Amino acid sequence: MLQVKRLDQPAQEISLTLKEFQVLTYLMENCDRIIPGSKLRSQLWDLDEEPISNVVAAQIRLLRRKFARHDCDCPIETVPGQGYRFRTLP
Amino acid sequence: MNSHQLFRRSRLRLATWYAIVMGGILSLSGFGMARALVQANWVALEREIESIAGTLHDSLEPMLPPSEDPTDVLQQIFPDLCVVDQPCEPNSSLIQRHTLGVSDRTTYYIRLFDNQGNLLAFSPNQPTTLPTTLNPDLWQTLQTLEGKRYHQFTTILHSAHTHSESGQLHNGESWGYLQVGRTLAAFDAEMQRLRWVLLGGIPLILGLIAVSSWWLSGLAMQPIYQSYQRQQQFTANAAHELRSPLASLLATVEASLRLPQSKQVPDPVLLQAVERQGRRLSQLVTDLLLLTTLEQNTTTKPPQPCCLNDIIADLTEELAELASATDIHLSSQIVDIEIHVMGLESQLYRLVSNLMANAIQYTPSGGSVVVSLANHDRSATIAVKDTGVGIPTEEQSRIFERFYRVNSDRSRKTGGTGLGLSIAQAIAQRHHGQITVTSEVGNGSAFIIHLPHIAIV
């Protein structure tokens, strides 16, 4: 469960899967840096897992959809051809 | 070779059983037909005799003389007949022949008896061995000493005169008996011919069945033999593919062991090499297992609606990194409406990503790869077009074979396990779809996946 608190709104909870949580955590730990998808994959996934779960883009998409469903802006942005970045600065 | 013997034996067994079964059925039906033919002939023959006897009977009865001295009258009615105890002179005038009414004199004979069973008159051509006493059986089959057979019909004659003049005496009593016989020579000849046809025909037919069953069993064995050979080839290829990384893995380890004792700290470069080879092996085994699972259809997960738009968008994003590493422009064209197919999402990801990775791999840097999703009446198509090296036409049918590589290049340089397209095709087929290829050497290739979509509103 992820608690999101915005200044002007009451706190809400968004439930995440383990993988989504791991991706988000990793990106937050390395915020404002571009993390290549291959790096994420080698850090967070075993080789033997099912193909679907090691498609990083799919996890990012799921994360974004969850954020959108709760009317939150997703802080993860895609840098085409390079990777992903968790933005803390506007 | 052992397997050849095995296949030969199976083929022989198949052919033998086939020949026995077919031969049995055909022989049985042949005998049955012959039997039915004989029966039909016999029935027709009896009907013919009966109708002639009936005609004679009907035309005789009104003219029958009273019983005191019938022979004179009889000779008037049947001038052709011989009367018992009188010399028999065959008289053959045309008119008389007609009066007898039996068209073929050599085929039929008639005999007349009085009501005590004494022979009164007979045709001259009757069988010589016939007794002069009456055998009142309705149907009789007789055989002469020479072996000629006759079939004979007996009917009772009633006299019209006795009825009208002295009805009180002979009312309901018979005047005598009429026997009509026919020679069975033609019938027997027919039977003989039939027997010869069967005796000569059945071995001929059996021979034909043997030859054709050998040929048919060969035809039936062919796909089995081919798939057996493919399986053997696959095993050989798999062994070969597994051996190369294992060999280099062992070489790396041996090299590190040969170093002097003092230097035997884990060398990161060597370890990385070991890891790389290990991963390669693991990947290969995983792919082989996946392929087997796909072909045996053993997955238990139920299919779910999967959105192709998402899959393609994700994979385009995912593989952009790989593409930009070799300076390939990767782009996608996705229709606005969402297209769903029933299936396993993980397998669909694998299907599309295999084709995209292939396209990126076989496209020289500076080229482009375009993935497009389109919606048709019954199916959705995902087209992966590249500006790569292309595939020669004669190779296009073989690229889906396991471990097949165009230009027979088994070099590790191109990466891949050689199973990518086999897996893609197996997945497409499991989803009731297919993959088509168009390609031109030097101009690039287009792989198009056709999948039946479901309508979602």
**Which of B90, B86, B58 minimizes the C-alpha distance to B71?**
B86
- The pLDDT assigned to B167 comes to 41
CATH number of B3-192: 3.30.450
Q: Where are the alpha helices (DSSP H) in chain A?
A: 18-29, 37-44, 56-69
ipTM entry: 0.84
Q: Which residues are within 8 A (CB) of B35 and not within 5 positions of it... i.e. 6 or more apart?
A: none
Identify the H or E element spanning B255: helix B185-258
Tell me which chain B residues have a C-beta less than 8 angstroms from the C-beta of A60: 317
Q: In this structure, what token pair is assigned to residue B417?
A: 């396990």
Q: In this structure, what token pair is assigned to residue A23?
A: 């991706």
Total CB pairs under 8 A between chain A and B: 51
Tell me which chain A residues have a C-beta less than 8 angstroms from the C-beta of B279: 47
Q: Do A61 and B286 touch (CB under 8 A)?
A: no
Position B9, amino acid: R
Give the C-alpha separation, B200 to B30, whole Å: 12
Residues 291-330 of B with CB under 8 A from A: 310, 313-315, 317-318, 320-324
E-only strand ranges, B190-307? 304-307
Give the C-alpha separation, A35 to B96, whole Å: 127
Residue B165 has pLDDT above 80, yes or no: no
- The pLDDT assigned to B448 comes to 94
Domains B3-192 and B300-451 share a fold: no
Tell me which chain B residues have a C-beta less than 8 angstroms from the C-beta of A38: 321-322
Residue B94 has pLDDT above 60, yes or no: no
Q: Determine which of B318, B324, B327, B427 to mutate to test the interface with A (most A C-beta atoms within 10 Å).
A: B318
Answer whether B276's CB lies under 8 Å from B249's CB: no
By C-alpha distance, the chain A residue nearest B316 is A57
Q: Do B349 and A55 touch (CB under 8 A)?
A: yes
- The pLDDT assigned to A52 comes to 64
| Assigned CATH topology for domain B300-451 | Heat Shock Protein 90 (3.30.565)
Residue B379 has pLDDT above 80, yes or no: yes
* Higher pLDDT pick, B108 / A9: B108
Identify the H or E element spanning B142: strand B139-143
> How far apart are the CA of B352 and the nearest CA of chain A, in angstroms?
11
Q: In the predicted model, what is the mean pLDDT of residues B112-127?
A: 77
Identify the H or E element spanning B333: strand B329-334
pLDDT one-digit tens code per residue, B383-431: 999 998 888 888 888 888 888 777 655 444 555 678 889 999 999 998 9
**pLDDT class for A75, splitting at 50, 70, 90?**
confident
Residue A65, phi-psi category: left (phi > 0), alpha (psi -120 to 50), beta (remainder): alpha
> How far apart are the CA of A55 and the nearest CA of chain B, in angstroms?
7
Position B410, amino acid: R
Give the C-alpha separation, B172 to B168, whole Å: 10
Sequence ranges of the domains in chain B = 3-192, 300-451
Look up the pTM and report it.
0.63
Tell me which chain A residues have a C-beta less than 8 angstroms from the C-beta of B314: 55, 57-58, 61
